[in-house]
Structure 1
């Protein structure tokens, strides 16, 4: 294990990797953006009103879907 990464206030349910970043979605309704080189959280994305269940990196886009019945690009 390289390092334990802690930032979400509740459990993580989704994870995806993109160029130089990886992304985690949580029960706390946020998505965290992590730098692959430093392993630090560089951004917290807020927008869903329920669990961020699924994440995918597609080209330059991050797409998330949630139990709030929405997806965000």
Structure 2
């Protein structure tokens, strides 16, 4: 996630995951100015409440990890 100034210059940038796959599938701004994201994550990710891990299930030991969906809201 990043924030640009009106001229398009980078003000800040933040990443949330490790070297596994993370992707945002939807982004929206609420009437109150919050940003809502949905997406998929594999591996470790910290969306602001501590690190979570999409651990490998016992029923699929040959897989590195699974994709898990997320929904997160960030306040300005």
TM-score (ref. length: structure 1) = 0.46
User: Where is the strand percentage greater, Structure 1 or Structure 2?
Assistant: 1
TM-score (ref. length: structure 2) = 0.45
